[in-house]
Amino acid sequence: MMDVIDAVNDLRRVTHTDLAARVKNVAVILTSPRSGSSLLKSVLSSHPEIASLDGEMEPFLALTRNGFSFNAGSDALKSIDNQGVLLDNIFDDMTLPAGGESDYLFLKDRWRKRLLLQFPALFSEDRAHEQLIHDLDAVFRLAGEKKIQSEAMLQDLVLSRVFKSEIWRLDYYDGKKNPAASHSFNEPFKLEEPPFVVPRQHRRQLEPDDVEQKILLFKTPPDVYRIGMYEQLFPNARIRYLHLTRGYAQSVNGLMDGWLSPVAFFSHDLERIGLNLSIRGYSDTVSFGKRWWKFDLPPNWQEYLNTNLEEVCLNQWLSAHQAIIDSRVTSLSVSFEEFLSDPAGIIQKITSYLGLPEMRSLPVFPVTMATEAPKIRRWHKRETDLLRMGKRKDVQMMMDSLAYSMNPETWL
């Protein structure tokens, strides 16, 4: 494992920077998984004053030997090792919206670095990495000749060229899954959690002159267990938090779908530490169910190794929001349900809180990190079980703390 990490770090060739002390403003979305944070981040990232990562912090923590199985027993992280290298990776991936012609040389290198995070064991091998560079050169030569008409077309061409002999790997990408896919995620080593993101086009590198003026936006659900990390990374910055909420029924239903997905949300390979899961409705249902933990790893995760899937997912929702509440961190609370019903109003509320000018218009909402086509009240497919959960005192108390009604008619 360490050999793969070393090889990926060597091949990514990330440049050192000392910009962290100059950063003045950071925004962090705190939430439980399956609460709509990917969509909210996608919309906010189109603001010209907001810089963001293409994906999440997790692969950079792993590259710098931080987190579970390195220096922590869960997703709670008390200290940061190799802080300088972690910051180098953050700044290398941090971009801002840009108009005009795409910088294809910059974009091609971002693809190369991202693919190394997604398939580290594959592309850290010398011959495979050389072929990767050859394939990317061919695609971006066409792009430079203006033979590719759209961002979606470029993404599809890159992925189909790079994985021409293993087209099934496209199923691991956000929005690319073949409904008829029958295989499951089975990579020998994982850095980025699928569904994988791709580098965004029409972006530019965060420059030294930007760091004192722009807001750096971060979204990684496990951050609820490491509040204070961004204060360590950016000691001179004002850190502002957004607490994104979603009702338990919608969240738990989405979590259960994700746990059962054959190609998404694989976060921790417990076989590496000699553990096997025995989660009813998961370990006895899917081929990967004894090996892979999905989504966040709360500090109390070991209490749920031998329970049922709905209990695991409910604990992930409860633990995340309880961690935010217990931290007593000052935050702006925003519900995902309100965001869906009044996106312009909620974005205006957020930009005002962050001290930013209003967005002139909102981008078309992408479908992000979805296990199936979005629709209202998807939780109804597990209605009986979810309503039974709602009778629990801890669920009722948390729903009240998050300002949600226990009337199911109000749950979107």
Angle between helical axes of 393-401 and 248-260 (0-180°, round to 10): 110
Q: What is the pLDDT of residue 178?
A: 67
Phi, psi (rounded to 5 degrees) for 331? -150, 160
Neighbours of 209 (CB within 10 A): 9
Give me the pLDDT at residue 99, please: 84
Given pLDDT bands bounded at 50, 70 and 90, which one contains residue 369?
A: low
User: Nearest-5° angle of CA 114, CA 117, CA 123?
Assistant: 95
Q: 136 in a domain, yes or no?
A: yes
For residue 408, being part of any structural domain is answered with no
In sequence order, which residues have a C-beta less than 8 Å from that of residue 233 and are 6 or more positions away?
20, 80, 83, 86, 87, 90
Which residues are within 8 A (CB) of 244 and not within 5 positions of it... i.e. 6 or more apart?
29, 30, 31, 35, 36, 37, 40, 334, 335, 336
| Residues 75/225, Cβ–Cβ less than 8 Å | yes
**Residue 370 confidence (pLDDT) above 70:** no
Give residue 315's identity as a one-letter amino acid code: N
- Residues with Cβ within 8 Å of residue 278, at least 6 apart in sequence: 290, 305, 306
Q: Residue 1 pLDDT > 80, yes or no?
A: no
Q: Is the dihedral of CA 108, 218, 233, 121 positive or negative?
A: negative
pLDDT value of residue 367: 53
Give the model's confidence band at 181: pLDDT under 50 very low, under 70 low, under 90 confident, else very high: low
Give the span between the Cα atoms of 43 and 56, in whole angstroms. 15
Range of the domain at 223: 2-403
- Other C-beta atoms lying within 10 Å of the C-beta of residue 286: 15
* Contact in structure between 128 and 122 (CB atoms under 8 Å): yes
Does a structural domain hold residue 40? yes
Picking from 61, 116, 113, 29, the residue whose alpha carbon sits closest to that of residue 267 is 61
213-224 average pLDDT score:
98
What SS3 class is residue 217? strand
The size of the chain, in residues, is 412
Q: Which amino acid is at 190?
A: K
- Report whether pLDDT(198) > 70: yes
Distance CA 224, CA 298 (A): 9
Q: Residues 28, 211: contact at Cβ < 8 Å?
A: no
What CA–CA distance (Å, rounded) separates 342 from 327? 29
Number of domains, the chain: 1
Least confident window among 27-41, 315-329, 353-367: 353-367
Residue with the two structure tokens 């019903």? 341
3 state SS of 404: coil
* 412 located within any domain: no
Q: Give yes or no for a contact between 241 and 223, defined as CB atoms under 8 angstroms apart.
A: no
- Here the tokens at position 215 are 């807001």
Which tens digit of pLDDT belongs to each residue from 105-140?
Answer: 999 999 999 999 999 999 999 999 999 999 999 999
411 within domain boundaries:
no
This prediction has a pTM of 0.94
What is the residue whose two structure tokens read 């992280």? Answer: 77
Contact (Cβ atoms closer than 8 angstroms) between residue 212 and residue 238? no
Least confident of 32-36, 180-184, 202-206: 180-184
